[in-house]
Amino acid sequence: MRVGIFAPLVTPITTPEWISMLGKGVDERGFHAVWVPEHVVLFDDPKSQYPYSDDGKVPMGPSNGLLEPFDTMAFLAAVTEKVRLGTGICVVPQRNPVYTAKDVATLDWLSNGRIDFGIGVGWLAEEFEALAVPFERRGRRTREYIEAMKSLWQDSLSSYDGELYKLPECRQNPKPVQTPHPPIHIGGHSDAAMRRVANWGQGWYGNHLTPEEVAERLAYLERLLEGGERSLAEIEVSLCPYMLPCDLDTVKRYRDAGVDQIILMLMSMGTDDLTMVLDALAEEFLEPARSL
């Protein structure tokens, strides 16, 4: 089983020195990937409920924020050589798809083909409003944006004609190093999210699920794939326990449920403890997981 790291990128903890230490630390220890989140703005008292906490609130204070994921991955790409770099996740429907395609392609180019594009449809309606983007039909918008991005990544002369988005004929270079494009990992665990995985995802990024919940979701995904051109074995399954307790026995249960990559939450308070935290995660999970 592969072992990745979820780095929350919460400021002011994640200084340039901390990110540089993180990149070099995961590369030296042999972690498979670093995954980073996205929220461009947050709100003190939103009506939208955060799906991964008991109280529906994002676990951050008013003076905290998240670094921009693509800028941060570019920083990480410059200080690493082997570890893969992923968005966990990018909120695709609230972004301009041409710029997002450019960000992904540029990072794949600069990292020599180490980008994993984790995507989701979003949950924070207030963030969409701040960006002047409709929250409604965001699932459909995500699909159309991805199709337009695929054309930008793959076609010499790109175009797209959808219901919600149209891309006139244009050229975007450089193309990604990975062909036909960097792997797309679908975030979320709703039925709609699993249908997206079945229809066009190269991977599934599960979050805050128990091994039993993962097994149920993968059984549902397998049913969706029946009779199609792909099997569950062709889809990379990644799972971040997030705030749930996790030890090596739990990792084994995730493996038995069908998980290919376990993504461990990085709980560091700054440069003073980062090396110790990475060493502890490597000792408890990285070496044992290689034999699973």
pLDDT, tens digit, for every residue of 47-96? 999 999 888 989 888 999 999 999 999 999 999 999 999 999 999 999 99
- What average pLDDT does the segment 131-140 reach? 98
pLDDT above 80 for 102: yes
CA distance 116 to 69: 12
DSSP label at residue 232: G
Q: Contact, 143 vs 195, CB < 8 A?
A: no
Residue with tokens 């991805």: 146
Q: Is residue 121 part of a domain?
A: yes
pLDDT of the residue at 290: 80
Name the pairing type of β-strands 33-36 and 84-87.
Answer: parallel
| Number of domains observed in the structure of the chain | 1
Residue 82: closest CA among 34, 10, 129: 34
Coil, strand or helix at 66: strand
Can you give the CATH number for the domain in which 53 is found? Answer: 3.20.20.30
Q: Please give the mean pLDDT across all residues of the chain.
A: 96
Q: Is residue 148 part of a domain?
A: no
Q: Is residue 230 part of a domain?
A: yes
Q: Is residue 71 part of a domain?
A: yes
Tokens of 192: 């709609």
The structure's pTM equals 0.96
pLDDT, tens digit, for every residue of 179-228? 999 999 999 999 999 999 999 999 999 999 999 999 999 999 999 999 89
pLDDT, tens digit, for every residue of 222-241? 999 998 999 999 999 999 99
- What average pLDDT does the segment 12-27 reach? 97
pLDDT of the residue at 54: 83
Coil, strand or helix at 35: strand
Q: Is residue 30 part of a domain?
A: yes
Q: Is residue 270 part of a domain?
A: yes
Q: Is residue 176 part of a domain?
A: no
Range of the domain at 125: 2-132+183-289
DSSP label at residue 13: T
